[in-house]
Each structure stands twice: as structure tokens, then as C-alpha cells.
Chain A
Amino acid sequence: MFLSVSPSPHNLAQVDVSRVMRAVALATIPGIVALVFFFGIGSLIQIALCISVALVSEALILKIRQRPISHVLKDNSALLTGLLLGISIPPLAPWWISVIGVGFAIIVAKQLYGGLGFNLFNPAMVGYVLLLISFPVTMTNWQVPLELSQYQLGAGDIFSAIFTGFTTTGLSVNELRISVDGITMATPLDTLRTDLSLGLTTYESFTKPIYNGFVSVGWVWVNLAFLFGGLWLVAQRIIRWHIPVAVMATLAVCATLGFLVDPDTHASAFFHLLSGATMFGAFFIATDPVTAATSNKGKLIFGAIIGLLVYVIRQYGGYPDALAFAVILANMTVPVIDMYSKPSSYGHQKKRHPKQGSSND
């Protein structure tokens, strides 16, 4: 038996970057399954496309930067960025949307800042925001849930819609958004904000077929599936509970306050938590170890900022969903949060005001 003499810590957890990234990727599987079940296989095609573009652009820029290619590609971080962006992009978006978004995410947001560990902003969300600002119409056209759609979509139709813009029967992506009763449909969040701006109350809006009572068709299960994957990540100790809990708690508190003040124009906390990208963002986007705050206290503050911004932008801003903007804005605050939430090391007292005599800690 070989006994090595080394300084502490002696008990090393076998956690490396590659394994963490792989675990996060695996945890998205329930969510992806739900997406595919409700919206067709478009998401799978987008994910495959995004991952391949991510790997190619990472290899390309590493070659230009004269860094070891295979070593860096093996850490799975480019794969994860591609995967997360592929999940975020609308299933029927044209293929060049994915290529532009992932290329920008990897080349500019990640590698030009120095690669994994040096990027200030979450690369997947930078790519998403670039697309959202550039192509707002395409990026906010999420597909109608299959059960509400007027047309039966086969895999071939979806494939052809992504790469040519038309299905095999010649329907354009916009026509596919027409629901059973002949009304063009937006996402639940989008429908709600349009209805509110038209002077309808939330109750009136919720009678539309895209809602099922007080929640939205399909999106509830997608969010619950991502919640399930996220809880698995917490149980596996890949991520800590602080950020997701802070995001969801802040969002729920804000939404409840709004709902109590004026239920006619504010949706409930339940609706906010189970619509759009809430769960996906709270567990998979906001918890990115590079761009999130470091200490536990910092993580709580970071998550709370995201939750607050999501609510404010959804309720009062110009876009239906807000997670990408919220995460990027919160990323900017991370250096300050980290500075003020630095835990004191064992045996040292926190610096107090110079006033003498307050020795109560």
C-alpha cells in the first residue's frame, strides 16, 4: 500500500470540470423530454445543431489562439453552452439563428474573454440576448403546444421548417402558429402581456385555450421537469440550493405582492414560477459556477437580484420573458457582491466600525 505524505486536505472529492458539466447536461434530460413531448422534436434538432456549432467554433477559436484543442474540448463546457442555448431557442427557429447565437456565445462571450473561468457573462445567455435583440420576431415566436395546433407535424415537417422555413406541405412557420380555433398564438407570458395591454383582466386572459385554469398548457410540465432535474443536481451536490431558492422565493414574493394589490392586472406567483424559463433559468442558467457569486451569502443576493429583475421586466418591461436579461444584469453585479459578501476566515473577527465596546459577536 502506498501512503503519500502531503499537506491537507487529504480527502479529495473527485470532481472535475468535465464531470460537473456532464452532470448538468444529464440533468436537463427530463426538461428536454417534456419540451419534445409538448412542442415536437424541434428542440432536439436545435440542440444537436447548437452543440455541433459550439464544438466547431470552440475548436476554431482555440486554434487561432494556439491553445490545446482536444484538452479544452474534453471539459464539456462548450457542449453545455450549446445545449443550454439549444433549449432556449424556439423549436422552429431557422437554422442560422442557432449558428449566429452559438457562434457569438462561444467566440465573443467566452473565448475572447479568455476562455472558461474568465468570462464575465454567462455565454449561453449572451448568445440568447444577442438573438433576442436582433431578431425579436423570430425569437418570441414559440411554437404552439402540439395538442392545440391545427396541423399535425411530423419529424420531417419540423426538420424541413428549421432548414428551409417551410414544412414539407409548404406551410410557413408563421402559419404553424395558428391554433385549432384559427387564432395565432403566442406563448402564455406573451399572451398575458398583450391582453393586459388591450385592457383585459388576467381572469379574462386566462380563459383562452393556451391556459389550463391558472397555468399554461405544456409549460407547467416543462417547468416541473426542469425543477426535477434541478433538484437532482442539488442532491448530487453539483449546485448549491442558494441561487435557485433565492430566485424562486424573490419572484414568488414579488408576484404575490402584485397579485394581492391588484389581481386584475397581476398574475399569481404560481403562474410566474411555472411559466416561461423560470425553473430552467433558476437551476441551470443562474447557477453557472463561473459567472455567479461565490459565497453562500453572495449567492442569495445574486439569486434575489435575478428574481426581482425577472418580475420587474415581465410585469413592466418590453419583453414577455426576462430571464436572460436578468442573468446578464446580475452577472455585472457579481464583483461587487463578492467584495461585500466575503466570508471571514476562521478565527478572525469581522471588521467592525472603529467604535469601541461593541463586542457582541
Chain B
Amino acid sequence: MNTYAELTWQGLWKNNPGLVQLLGLCPLLAVTSTLTNALGMSLATIIVMVGSNATVSLIRRFIPKEIRIPIFVMIIAGYVTCVQLLFNAYAFGVYQSLGIFLPLIVTNCIIIGRAEAYASKNALLPSIYDGFIMAIGFSAVLVLLGAVRELLGQGTLFDGAQLLLGEWASSLRIEIFAIDQSFLFIMLPPGAFVALGFILAIKNSLNNKVEAMIVPPVEEKKIERARVSKV
């Protein structure tokens, strides 16, 4: 596999930030009560991660090893501030419903993790791609969890999508089944833990099948043993 295929495989499945590294659980569990919130959080994470990986990769030769972590945090905080201001300006509804978790992206371990583990050691283009695909892998989990929780919790999908995407998106709202009282457990954080647990279990049970499908099994080396003693 070449670099990009390997990065894709790592980011989306093998080393998925949400399901394997289990990093960034705070936004993963806290803001996925609806699909719209999950999409908003995904968008913010993708922008921040691509930006921070690109910047870190560009200036990686000038960063003193001893103070690299504060520098990474400063860079990430800069991007997060930009994203926060953008959301405040163009998607105020989502800005309000994400609340504190939007500025808290600064402390999201995946972003600093990728800056430290990949972008500070690799060239610009692979670093950008790594940030992008890791963020996509994380977003996939966010969106899946948001969809499951919204569906089980209130029987809808894309409720409130107009807050993120503009007025036209209010027609996206799909009501799968009508319930007169929402399933609060799923909408509250404990439901997020349980739902994530089920997703992890399904991922783990699928793991061998999917890996066999994508990565061809390496043939075992046959070891020819020389006879060392007479029986």
C-alpha cells in the first residue's frame, strides 16, 4: 500500500480516533444528541485538524523539541477561535447548541495527538491528508452516534438542520416514527455511553472480516528446519 492508502485505512478503520484510539470522547459523547449537532461538530473538527496539521508540518523544523506541546496548543487554539467566530457568524443556532464544546475542541486529544504523532514528522501534503482523513474517521463515528441517538430518542433525523445549513434544510427533516414522549435516556449522556459501547462491540465483531477483505493475508513464512540431531 502506498502512503495515502495506508493513511486512509488507518484513519477510517484500523486506527479510527473514535472507535480504536477512543480519543476525544468528551465531544463524542456530549454533543451527539442529534444528527445536526454531530454534523456541526464534525465540520469544526475537520477544519481545525486540517489547519493545525498543515501549520505544524510547515513549521516543524523551527519548533524546539522542549516546548513543542505549548506551541501545538497555541496553533490549535488559533484555529479553534477562527472556527468559533465563523460558527457564531454563520450558524448561530448550532453555535448555541454546541455551547462550550466548540471552544473545548482545543483540548481534543486527537488533534494534538495527530500533530505530535504525524504532522511534526512528515511533509506538508501527507500531513494535511492525515489530518483530513483522521477527522473524517472521527466524524463518521460522531454522525453515526448522532443519527442513532436522534432516531431512538425522538424518532427523527436531521431535526433542526436549518440551524446549520440554512433555511432550505428544514425540508431535510425526516420523521421516521412519531412518539409523544422522547426516550430521554438515549438523549442524555448515559445513553451516549451505552450506544458507543454497542457501536464498539459491532466494530470489534466485524473487525476480522473487514480486515481480511481489505488487507490480503500475509502468507506465513515456511521455516525449513534442518535436522540437528538424529532420532
Contact = CB atoms under 8 A, between A and B. Distances in A.
Interface of A: 100, 108, 130, 133-138
B181 A135 contact: yes
A130 B181 contact: no
B181 A137 contact: yes
A325 to B, nearest CB: 13
Contact of B185 (A130, A137, A138): A130
A134 B194 contact: no
B194 A108 contact: yes
B101 interface: no
A136 B188 CA distance: 14
A157 B188 CA distance: 35
A166 to B, nearest CB: 13
Contacts of B210: none
B85 interface: no
A320 B190 CA distance: 22
B188 A133 contact: yes
B185 A133 contact: yes
B201 to A, nearest CB: 9
B179 to A, nearest CB: 9
B183 interface: yes
- Where chain A touches its partner, the secondary structure class is helix
B92 to A, nearest CB: 30
B152 to A, nearest CB: 10
A21 B186 CA distance: 32
Interface string B181-217: 1011110101000100000000000000000000000
A29 B198 CA distance: 37
A135 B194 contact: no
Nearest to A135: B181
17 contacts: A100-B183, A108-B194, A130-B185, A133-B184, A133-B185, A133-B188, A133-B190, A134-B183, A134-B184, A134-B185, A134-B186, A135-B181, A135-B183, A135-B184, A136-B184, A137-B181, A138-B181
B139 to A, nearest CB: 27
Nearest to A130: B185
B131 to A, nearest CB: 36
Given A135-B184, A137-B181, 15 more contacts: A100-B183, A108-B194, A130-B185, A133-B184, A133-B185, A133-B188, A133-B190, A134-B183, A134-B184, A134-B185, A134-B186, A135-B181, A135-B183, A136-B184, A138-B181
Contacts of B186: 134
Contacts, number: 17
A133 B190 CA distance: 10
Q: How large is the interface on B (under 10, 10 to 19, 20 to 34, 35 or more residues)?
A: under 10
Nearest to B153: A134
Contacts of A135: 181, 183-184
A135 B185 CA distance: 8
Contacts of A137: 181
Contacts of B194: 108
A100 B183 CA distance: 10
List the 8 shortest-distance A-B pairs measured between CB atoms, nearest first: A134-B185, A134-B184, A134-B183, A133-B185, A130-B185, A135-B181, A133-B184, A137-B181
A70 to B, nearest CB: 25
Contacts of B185: 130, 133-134
Contacts of A130: 185
Choose among B181, B183, B185, B186 the residue with the greatest number of A CB atoms under 10 Å from its CB: B185
Contacts of B181: 135, 137-138
Nearest to A136: B184
B141 to A, nearest CB: 21
Nearest to A165: B180
> By CB atoms of chain B within 10 A, which of A134, A136, A137 has the most?
A134
Nearest to A137: B181
Nearest to B186: A134
Nearest to B190: A133
Interface in B128-149: none
Contacts of A100: 183
Contacts of B190: 133
Contacts of A108: 194
Nearest to A108: B194
Nearest to B181: A135
Nearest to B188: A133
Interface string B156-200: 000000000000000000000000010111101010001000000
A54 B170 CA distance: 41
Contacts of B183: 100, 134-135
Nearest to A96: B179
Nearest to A100: B183
Interface string B103-123: 000000000000000000000
A108 B186 CA distance: 14
A1 B196 CA distance: 61
Interface string B80-98: 0000000000000000000
A322 B197 CA distance: 28
A130 B186 CA distance: 10
Contacts of B184: 133-136
Contacts of B188: 133
A66 to B, nearest CB: 13
A67 B190 CA distance: 29
